[in-house]
A = this chain, B = another copy of it.
């Protein structure tokens, strides 16, 4: 699995058990030492400074953090337990590995230690062209309708939908992507072996079938109340921009919007009736927070498209026309099947180019929404009808 050693993978898995998500001391230490060094220091007796590299001593709250982590040491995962989780269909992905979404690195020290994934999609490629669609659990019929339509249209245009796992707007966003046959990413605040809320079991299975479930928690970790807010930074960081579909003034979705702004990603909000409280948070984002008002997928795409790739063009249509691709890219795209999947090696042979060049082309095609990587390899993304003109 790439350049990350089994030792580092085990150490990161164990650190994710010792520390809660977003633990600032852990983030600061991992910027200064290796995961395995840190596990050794936690496992050793004595002052943390004694067994860590010099720069670690300056990390605030070091002693308290070690106190917390050492209390959890007895229960941490063995290599055998990790293997068991992976045999059950979970993937453990560490920074630096091929499926690691590099945009999470924008979180700096708040970057997760690792991610647990379950599902058919390759997370990194799915998130190259993605939008977070979030909002309240307590949504109105209007909000639910807009979430479904918006996610469905984004999905049809080749955008991956990213959201949480809650009822309400999150659920409808995933359903919209699923009905369009697109990829959807659910970032959960609990471990992936722990279905919360329980009633979402069916939805999560569907997401695993054609998208991906994501968590930074060990698979057996139940949800905690602060965990939801900490999870929101991942929703914001995994996508190119965040749309709040419907949110009251105290909704957690506004916290996701705040994370997106801190990451300099576009923050968008869908307006609604000013006579209901459920859209008041969206209006506040527009009025006082500089969020862009968006009414449909075309507006969202304008805000998340890099300049020159479609947002500035006609309001409907793919982000780039197939016939604008160069001959090599076109040859690679021709070699990608419309359904099922095909490996990069086979695609390289069919396109008549080197393997490395094919992988590079596939990455660029994924970034522009032409192809997607799934469990069975690469497949083409259905393009909107306008593309056929």
Contact = CB atoms under 8 A, between A and B. Distances in A.
Q: Which of A142, A275, A292, A296 has the most CB of B within 10 A?
A: A275
A50 interface: no
Given A145-B275, A272-B273, A280 B295 contact: yes
A299 B272 contact: no
B287 A293 contact: yes
Interface in A368-384: none
Interface string A265-279: 000001111110001
A271 B295 CA distance: 10
Interface string A351-377: 000000000000000000000000000
Contacts of A292: 287
A283 interface: yes
A42 interface: no
A286 interface: yes
B283 A293 contact: yes
B274 A146 contact: yes
A270 to B, nearest CB: 6
B287 A299 contact: yes
A145 to B, nearest CB: 6
Nearest to A272: B273
A292 B286 CA distance: 9
Contact of A274 (B270, B275, B283, B287): B270
A5 to B, nearest CB: 50
Contacts of A271: 271-272, 274, 279, 283, 286, 293
A342 to B, nearest CB: 39
A278 to B, nearest CB: 12
A277 to B, nearest CB: 11
A279 B270 CA distance: 13
Interface in A193-242: none
Nearest to A270: B274
Looking at A271, A275, A294, the one whose CB has the most chain B CB atoms below 10 A away is A271
A204 B273 CA distance: 30
Contacts of A287: 292-295, 299
A144 to B, nearest CB: 11
A272 B273 CA distance: 4
A279 B295 CA distance: 10
A137 B123 CA distance: 50
Contacts of A294: 287
Q: Which of A145, A274, A286, A296 has the most CB of B within 10 A?
A: A274
Nearest to A271: B271
B274 A274 contact: no
Contacts of A273: 142, 272-273
A275 B141 CA distance: 11
Interface of A: 142, 145-146, 270-275, 279-280, 283, 286-287, 292-296, 299
Closest 3 CB pairs of A and B: A271-B271, A274-B295, A286-B293
16 contacts: A142-B275, A146-B274, A271-B271, A271-B274, A271-B283, A271-B286, A272-B273, A273-B273, A274-B296, A280-B295, A283-B295, A286-B286, A287-B293, A287-B294, A287-B295, A293-B293
Given A272-B272, A287-B293, 12 more contacts: A142-B273, A142-B275, A146-B274, A271-B293, A272-B273, A274-B295, A283-B293, A283-B295, A287-B292, A287-B294, A287-B295, A293-B293
